Amino acid sequence: MIDPKTIGEVIYTREDIKKRVEELGKQISEEYAGKEIILVCILKGSFAFTADLAREIDIPCSIEFMQVSSYSNGTTTSGSLKIIKDINVPVDGKHLLIIEDIIDTGITLNNLKKMFDTRNPASVKLCAFLDKPSRRQAPIEADYVGFTVEDNFLVGYGLDYAQHFRNLPYIAILKEEYYK
């Protein structure tokens, strides 16, 4: 059992998250008006954000799930992307919106974007609830971002530390003394 005292400051409350997800859903619905999109949920981290965002989007959409992993166990990226589960629909000619909980080094989204570009979609855009630009190693930016955050390891709202804390309804800083 991980000690709940590992959780530090809450940076976004349940209410902050709800308001921002509503805004993003409205913006996406307006910008894709008249089109149909495929939301690609990148598991596991984006399960909560995708579920909330999808319900704020009021244009026709389908939802596909893909599972990848770059962080094996803790707080540092392995640098390469492991595809654990691919989507199983053709995407040629489709508008794709890839949904992530966070862009940190950018390695995950950069690799995903390159991979989807080879499948001939009509378009590929990226939506990340959190963006940590100070840590970027790969040249990638999201088209839609919920919040830009400082360089702290965050947990909650899908984000984990060693698979824990994804269920927290808020986003908090993991105290450094527990993983450094």
Ligand X SMILES: O=P(O)(O)OC[C@H]1O[C@H](OP(=O)(O)OP(=O)(O)O)[C@H](O)[C@@H]1O
**Residue recorded with tokens 């805004």:** 23
**Residue recorded with tokens 């540092």:** 76
The entry of ligand X, Mg ion, ligand HPA, none that residue 153 binds, CB within 5 to 8 Å by partner kind: ligand HPA
Query: At what angle are helices 14-31 and 47-54 packed, to 10 degrees?
Result: 60
* CB of 8 closer than 8 Å to CB of 174: yes
The entry of ligand X, Mg ion, ligand HPA, none that residue 69 binds, CB within 5 to 8 Å by partner kind: ligand X
Residue among 60 and 74 whose Cβ is closer to ligand HPA: 74
Q: Is 153 an interacting residue with respect to ligand HPA (CB under 6 A)?
A: yes
Task: Examine the residue annotation and report whether 151 is marked as an active-site residue of this protein.
Answer: no
Cβ 5 to ligand X, closest distance in Å?
22
- Distance of alpha carbon 131 from alpha carbon 128, whole angstroms: 7
Locate 73 and state its tokens. 């166990």
Residue among 25 and 45 whose Cβ is closer to ligand X: 45
Cβ 42 to ligand X, closest distance in Å?
5
Q: Is 77 an interacting residue with respect to ligand X (CB under 6 A)?
A: yes
Q: Which member of 6, 41, 44, 149 binds ligand X (CB under 6 A)?
A: 44
Q: Is 147 an interacting residue with respect to ligand X (CB under 6 A)?
A: no
Instruction: Work out the end-to-end distance of the chain between its first and last CA atoms, rounded to an integer number of angstroms.
Output: 18
Cβ 178 to Mg ion, closest distance in Å?
21
Q: Of 31, 84, 94, 98, whose CA–CA distance to 59 is shortest? A: 31
- Distance of alpha carbon 77 from alpha carbon 174, whole angstroms: 16
* CB of 149 closer than 8 Å to CB of 132: yes
Cβ 118 to ligand HPA, closest distance in Å?
25
Check 104, 143, 151, 160 and give the catalytic one: 104
Site stretch for ligand HPA (CB under 6 A), options 4-12, 17-25, 82-90, 151-159: 151-159
For 17, the enclosing helix (H) or strand (E) is helix 14-31
Binding site for ligand X (CB under 6 A): 42, 44-45, 69-71, 77, 100-108, 160
Q: What residues are annotated to the active site? A: 104
